[in-house]
Amino acid sequence: MGNMINIGVIGYGYWGPNLVRNFAEIPTAQVTKVSDFKPELLAKAQARYPTIQVTTDSRDIFKDPKIDAVVIATPVSTHFDLALAALQAGKHVLVEKPMTTSSEQAKRLIEEAEKRNLVLMVDHTFVYTGAVRKMHELITSKRLGDIYYYDSVRVNLGLFQHDVNVIWDLAVHDLSIMNYLLPSQPYAVSATGISHVPGEPENIAYLTLFFESNLIAHIHVNWLAPVKVRRTLIGGSQKMIVYDDLEPSEKVKIYDKGITVNGNSESVYQMLIGYRTGDMWSPQLDMTEALRTEGLHFINCIEQGSRPITDGEAGLRIVRILEAATESMRQRGQLVELNLAEVAV
Amino acid sequence: MGNMINIGVIGYGYWGPNLVRNFAEIPTAQVTKVSDFKPELLAKAQARYPTIQVTTDSRDIFKDPKIDAVVIATPVSTHFDLALAALQAGKHVLVEKPMTTSSEQAKRLIEEAEKRNLVLMVDHTFVYTGAVRKMHELITSKRLGDIYYYDSVRVNLGLFQHDVNVIWDLAVHDLSIMNYLLPSQPYAVSATGISHVPGEPENIAYLTLFFESNLIAHIHVNWLAPVKVRRTLIGGSQKMIVYDDLEPSEKVKIYDKGITVNGNSESVYQMLIGYRTGDMWSPQLDMTEALRTEGLHFINCIEQGSRPITDGEAGLRIVRILEAATESMRQRGQLVELNLAEVAV
Amino acid sequence: MGNMINIGVIGYGYWGPNLVRNFAEIPTAQVTKVSDFKPELLAKAQARYPTIQVTTDSRDIFKDPKIDAVVIATPVSTHFDLALAALQAGKHVLVEKPMTTSSEQAKRLIEEAEKRNLVLMVDHTFVYTGAVRKMHELITSKRLGDIYYYDSVRVNLGLFQHDVNVIWDLAVHDLSIMNYLLPSQPYAVSATGISHVPGEPENIAYLTLFFESNLIAHIHVNWLAPVKVRRTLIGGSQKMIVYDDLEPSEKVKIYDKGITVNGNSESVYQMLIGYRTGDMWSPQLDMTEALRTEGLHFINCIEQGSRPITDGEAGLRIVRILEAATESMRQRGQLVELNLAEVAV
Amino acid sequence: MGNMINIGVIGYGYWGPNLVRNFAEIPTAQVTKVSDFKPELLAKAQARYPTIQVTTDSRDIFKDPKIDAVVIATPVSTHFDLALAALQAGKHVLVEKPMTTSSEQAKRLIEEAEKRNLVLMVDHTFVYTGAVRKMHELITSKRLGDIYYYDSVRVNLGLFQHDVNVIWDLAVHDLSIMNYLLPSQPYAVSATGISHVPGEPENIAYLTLFFESNLIAHIHVNWLAPVKVRRTLIGGSQKMIVYDDLEPSEKVKIYDKGITVNGNSESVYQMLIGYRTGDMWSPQLDMTEALRTEGLHFINCIEQGSRPITDGEAGLRIVRILEAATESMRQRGQLVELNLAEVAV
């Protein structure tokens, strides 16, 4: 198996088993080592995959010369140190989202990966779903026309995190989808939110993102909702999308609805607005598990020396928005500039 | 019919016919005159109600000594002048929402009504629905515990207004419901939004309202959505509500869901959070048409000399929030203080 | 108004007002007389339409030489006598569904209308909705391929009738839609059902209709259901339809789903069955009120001397099925032949 | 581990792995042997559970003296021979549904188990779900009053079976739930259905079950539907249930809706029927995996020598109905008596 990519996975808690399972099923890759500081989790990995080596010390992975790539599925506070150590050991890296706890850290990882010519990829899983890839195809082929707004709701009775607020936990999904789908980058954010448990991070938050064009984006996240909602509206000048991730099959619906605007020279203040309602269409989606598509993409980037869709720059942009949104939220909606062009390496 | 309340209705466009129909069916009231500047609308009123007098001049209503009360269903820009004239003519007033185009105007009307001891009521129709009254009962009886958040979405492909933005057109409904349901008043607003038609008012907007307690409110309104949504989440410490106005019968659902927080003296930063999920319950609602309940309430307030639920002060509070939200939106989320205590007369 | 069609309406209870309103708005028709044996209903008609003459005696309509056509909106037990009298008086007739209480009566009316060269139309309202017309277009243009099944559910907590069972009250709608949509006629029916109130007609029923081809139809009707359901599945060899009349806008959804069958000469017992799932599509529907479309069609048939879509023959076929289904139900599913070709005049 | 129940599992295809996983997690049971005639499936079992012995010959299980109980998860045509051999070898048996291909076979197994004092249980999985157990509690405690009807729909684009028709594949679920929930047994069945693939079993079917009381049951099953539906309506004189198995959390909704009947001595033909609509309530359900609850019940019955809820008699009743329904269907709805009392051993 000379051309096999050997993978070490750090973290076998909630998400790690999914990563191991998917990489185990990719023909040109194999997971050779798993580390976790909890022995009982390693025992599970061992029982499931008898041929995989396990260790409580992640350094065993960095030191292993046979390992080509490291997958990091640990809490966000550890991402930077682990990813940096992996890159410095010459390993390609796939790291969980959010990439790091600060944009400074994210930049440092990007620099390290570029210097060493290594693949640095962030696990923005949703980007690899059939639904998001279909919407990307529709948007980039201009089927929606100009994009007017992106509005997403991601709420449920969710686990309250102690170390990160709800923006870092939930909005990161919406931001990574939005970053992939939209044709331009936001320049500023205004966010509001609140904590309902004294001393704990905010459990409900609202983010508005401003763009140079007449595009606006808004994200609502909440750990304390009675019902689960995963719904995104994307408004375009030609068509509009409703993306409901909880729908079992018709996750993406495209509406031939909108307005038509006729300028009127005599009255510039009173545009003639026409309303258009037409058919709705819900395309068949590729139902391949997103992590499989993503794993294949990571392996392919390593093999080809190419740049992943969700590369370090994408990870950095998301981290910068999370950072700025948290700052804005603590100032009750105060606009915070993102300077995404500047933060880029 | 000595004790009959005689009513004049100004405006027979979209909403006027509903008002006339409902007042016509109240035993102790009768609509005696209808004015509109469009003769074709008056012809409709006449055909429908042969005994009602019609006029293109609203002054005929103010001058008519037999008329006790005036109902104003005209565009918002005309509310102040018409309501003031009616009050000055000694008539009780029921005016469409939003009450006026500025809080200054609203205060002026309140003063005029108080000086003359007349009923001044604002047509916040939703307050009189079975759904909102049931939620009011649940909240005031503390069945929900402390209120944590109020989150409302009101979007559809709606008529673009030329004279008011989407906040004045749609958020006014949510604000009037919220004002009735919540136990306290917000102190500031942060709003964002955008127009997608050059020179026209904003067609999409997001409002966050801040309260002294750990309560937060958010309203999303949009004239350019592919689907119609009318959904409010109300989170309490004991129970949570989903209010979906588009549900044909189960509009209000109460979830016995939430978190329980146990302070921990050793680690004030790490609260122990428990999760609670229990039954859901959807109460039978009074299905009486809201306008009928509201009309009876108006007539009753006139007869008893009592203050309406949706009085001028309620109307003023809503107008003040609309004013401040528009200001905040134009400054991209800049916090604007509401000073509701000060604006009150 | 020389070419105006003058209409007399018999019955101003539940449905009559809708008929009067729609005919009143058709440019080439006018309602000149309304009869009902309840004076209070006539008073309502008079108040609403001051120019219409009212009478408690339907014979005043038959005798009126200016009346061209009679619309009958009375209980089904009176349809035959009224329609026959109208035809014998030389009037065109539009009669509520079900057309009559027996197929014998229906045949008699058809004969009378043919003899006198008058239009005889049955008010199968659903046939004139945008949803049903769109499905008709899809089915007749072979977009669905061969039709495999027609399955309809029409249940809710509905008014228990004393004079007719739930088949005559509710299944009549499904049968009239089915009769319009399907390419062939059923040859037999097997029905089951029960009454939950001693001495009263059956309030729940299930009908299976058999066709010569491998098409099957089934209708479930129930007056005692906790929720309202109006849903039809139509399976074709190429595409399948879900028609949900309670959906506010997307009433008709077309699924590119189905099976493909490959005969296999070596094993005639084991066909190779492939599964196909593709896009879903929900066409924009004409939202014109069905009664308006129907009213225009009736007037047009009178003017052109043409045969209506829902003619007497269509009415007869439905009555024959209702008759046979009731007979089968009382024999607990015993197959009853329909002999639709024979019953036809 | 002296009191451990040792289990052999026959069949490791679709359902077998779920059975093995659940029994593996029961503290007082262990799966010691798995058989399947496909070596590749045994390899999977072995990889997953290294301590389990595997064999391609089911007789190795019957011969193993350490094995106390046999779980049979093979195609229905093999159930009888395998279960009989297991019982004759002195093993307790849990067999997949449908229990056998004929009621004669089912009776033979019951006799064998009784003679040997062994537990014979049928895997009617749904009976062990939180939803069905909650409904059972509501019905047996008379919260619904008298049961008027049971109406179930189970349709989707499902795998066409070559050896059994859709009744044996899908209606078996509804019949097992119904058998558990309803207070009495049906006496006859009328069924209709059709095959859309020449030479293949029926893929769409409708069953009506008749009871001595004024209860009626109906089941609609279809392998060729464009959408998945799993919905049961249960009407009672006091309350009514909607059970939707596809709802993620609110699977059971109880409606305080119905009719009240007042007999009227003067007019026995015209009962006074009142309509009642009240609250809806959706109880919190036990979300334990049904197979775990069922596995614990099987082990407990072995330990206690007690009779399972879904015993051989329950399995026999379902098989008898499947048999009779197929017969009725092939005679286009002809009533077939069930003689459930007679068929019982």
Judged by a CB distance cut-off of 8 A, whether residue C279 touches chain A is yes
List the subunits that have 3+ CB pairs under 8 angstroms with B: A, C, D
pLDDT band at D268 (very low <50, low <70, confident <90, very high): low
**Nearest chain B Cα distance for residue D140, angstroms:** 20
**Nearest chain B Cα distance for residue D239, angstroms:** 14
In this structure, the strands spanning D69-72 and D5-10 are parallel
Angle between the N-to-C axes of helices C79-88 and C103-116, in degrees from 0 to 180, rounded to the nearest 10: 10
Q: What integer is the mean pLDDT of C150-166? A: 95
Judged by a CB distance cut-off of 8 A, whether residue A248 touches chain D is yes
Cβ distance of B282 and D278 shorter than 8 Å: no
Domain D128-286+321-343: give its CATH architecture: 2-Layer Sandwich (3.30)
Cβ distance of D50 and A47 shorter than 8 Å: yes
Alpha-carbon span D270 to C108, nearest angstrom? 31
Contacts of B48 in chain C (CB under 8 A): 48
Check whether B248 has a pLDDT greater than 50.
Answer: yes
Alpha-carbon span A186 to A125, nearest angstrom? 21
- What is the length of chain D? 345
Q: How many CB pairs under 8 A join B and C?
A: 8
CATH ID of C5-125+290-310, from 3.20.20.70, 3.90.76.10, 3.40.50.1000, 3.40.50.720: 3.40.50.720
Judged by a CB distance cut-off of 8 A, whether residue B275 touches chain A is yes
pLDDT at B1: 42
Find the distance separating the first CA and the last CA of chain A, reported in whole Å: 37
Judged by a CB distance cut-off of 8 A, whether residue D65 touches chain A is no
Judged by a CB distance cut-off of 8 A, whether residue B256 touches chain D is yes
Contacts of D256 in chain B (CB under 8 A): 284
- C19 three-state secondary structure: helix
- D344 three-state secondary structure: coil
pLDDT at C149: 98
A5-126+290-310 has which fold?
Rossmann fold (3.40.50)
pLDDT at D249: 87
Could you say which residues from 6 to 45 on chain D have a Cβ atom under 8 Å away from some Cβ of chain C? none
Contacts of A283 in chain C (CB under 8 A): 279
pLDDT at C124: 98
Chain B residue with the nearest C-alpha to that of A333 = B333
Cβ distance of C50 and B47 shorter than 8 Å: yes
The residues of chain B that CATH labels 3.30.360.10 are: 129-287+321-343
Chain D residue with the nearest C-alpha to that of C188 = D332
**Nearest by CB: C214 against D160, D194, D227:** D194
Contacts of A248 in chain C (CB under 8 A): none
Chain B residue with the nearest C-alpha to that of D254 = B281
The residues of chain B that CATH labels 3.40.50.720 are: 5-126+290-310
pLDDT at A269: 55
Alpha-carbon span A31 to A25, nearest angstrom? 10
Cβ distance of C256 and A283 shorter than 8 Å: no
Cβ distance of C248 and B246 shorter than 8 Å: yes
Could you say which residues from 291 to 330 on chain C have a Cβ atom under 8 Å away from some Cβ of chain D? 328
Q: What integer is the mean pLDDT of C262-270? A: 58
Check whether B184 has a pLDDT greater than 50.
Answer: yes
pLDDT at A266: 55
pLDDT in tens, A47-62: 888 889 999 999 999 9
The residues of chain C that CATH labels 3.40.50.720 are: 5-125+290-310
The residues of chain C that CATH labels 3.30.360.10 are: 127-287+321-343
Q: What integer is the mean pLDDT of B50-67? A: 96
pLDDT band at C341 (very low <50, low <70, confident <90, very high): confident
B129-287+321-343 has which fold?
Dihydrodipicolinate Reductase; domain 2 (3.30.360)
Chain B residue with the nearest C-alpha to that of C51 = B47
Q: What integer is the mean pLDDT of D161-175? A: 96
pLDDT in tens, C303-321: 999 999 999 999 999 999 9
pLDDT at D344: 62
Contacts of D159 in chain C (CB under 8 A): 275
Cβ distance of B281 and D278 shorter than 8 Å: no
pLDDT in tens, C13-58: 999 999 999 999 999 999 999 999 999 999 999 988 888 999 999 9
pLDDT band at D272 (very low <50, low <70, confident <90, very high): confident
Judged by a CB distance cut-off of 8 A, whether residue A50 touches chain D is yes
Contact A167, A234 (CB under 8 A): no
Check whether D286 has a pLDDT greater than 70.
Answer: yes
**Nearest by CB: D279 against B256, B278, B283:** B283
Could you say which residues from 212 to 231 on chain A have a Cβ atom under 8 Å away from some Cβ of chain D? 228
pLDDT in tens, A116-151: 999 999 999 999 999 999 999 999 999 999 999 999
Q: Is C46 exposed, middle or buried (0-12, 13-18, 19+ CB in 10 A)?
A: middle
Judged by a CB distance cut-off of 8 A, whether residue B187 touches chain A is no
Task: Answer yes or no: CATH 3.90.220.20 is held by domain C127-287+321-343.
Answer: no
pLDDT at A161: 92
**Nearest chain B Cα distance for residue C291, angstroms:** 21
pLDDT in tens, A250-293: 999 999 999 988 766 455 556 688 898 999 999 999 999 999 99
In this structure, the strands spanning C53-55 and C29-35 are parallel
Q: How many CB pairs under 8 A join A and C?
A: 26
Check whether B271 has a pLDDT greater than 80.
Answer: no
Check whether D15 has a pLDDT greater than 70.
Answer: yes
pLDDT at C262: 76
Task: Give ∠ CA B203-B204-B210 in degrees, rounded to 5.
Answer: 130
Chain D residue with the nearest C-alpha to that of A51 = D47
pLDDT at C70: 98
- Which parts of chain A sit beneath pLDDT 50? 1, 265
**Nearest chain A Cα distance for residue C232, angstroms:** 19
The residue type at C258: G
Judged by a CB distance cut-off of 8 A, whether residue C280 touches chain A is yes
Burial A192-203 (b: 16+ CB within 10 A, else e): bbbbbbeebbbb
Check whether D263 has a pLDDT greater than 70.
Answer: no
Chain B residue with the nearest C-alpha to that of C50 = B47
pLDDT at C290: 98
Contacts 24+ apart (CB under 8 A), B27-31: B28/B3, B28/B4, B28/B299, B28/B303, B29/B4, B29/B5, B29/B295, B29/B299, B30/B1, B30/B4, B30/B5, B30/B6, B31/B7
Chain C residue with the nearest C-alpha to that of A257 = C284
pLDDT in tens, D290-323: 999 999 999 999 999 999 999 999 999 999 999 9
Contacts of A228 in chain D (CB under 8 A): 248
Cβ distance of C282 and A277 shorter than 8 Å: no
Cβ distance of C194 and D214 shorter than 8 Å: yes
Edge-to-edge strand ranges of the sheet holding D69-72: D53-55, D29-35, D5-10, D69-72, D92-96, D120-123
Judged by a CB distance cut-off of 8 A, whether residue C47 touches chain B is yes
List the subunits that have 3+ CB pairs under 8 angstroms with A: B, C, D
Weakest-pLDDT range from A201-215, B135-149, B286-300, C254-268: C254-268
Task: Answer yes or no: CATH 3.30.360.10 is held by domain A129-285+321-343.
Answer: yes
Contacts of C44 in chain B (CB under 8 A): none
Alpha-carbon span A22 to D98, nearest angstrom? 36
**Nearest chain A Cα distance for residue D48, angstroms:** 6
pLDDT at C345: 59
- What is the length of chain A? 345
Residue whose structure tokens are 């329904």: D325
Question: Considering only CA atoms, which of D57, D123, D163 is closest in space to residue D294?
Answer: D123
Alpha-carbon span B246 to B249, nearest angstrom? 9
**Nearest by CB: A225 against B208, B233, B277:** B233
Question: Considering only CA atoms, which of C298, C289, C293 is closest in space to residue C94?
Answer: C298
Weakest-pLDDT range from D199-203, D226-230, D268-272: D268-272
Check whether D265 has a pLDDT greater than 70.
Answer: no
Judged by a CB distance cut-off of 8 A, whether residue D51 touches chain A is no
C-beta atoms surrounding A53 within 10 Å: 17
Judged by a CB distance cut-off of 8 A, whether residue A287 touches chain D is no
Alpha-carbon span D303 to A97, nearest angstrom? 50
Look up residue D183 and give its DSSP letter.
S
Check whether C265 has a pLDDT greater than 60.
Answer: no
**Nearest chain B Cα distance for residue D145, angstroms:** 20
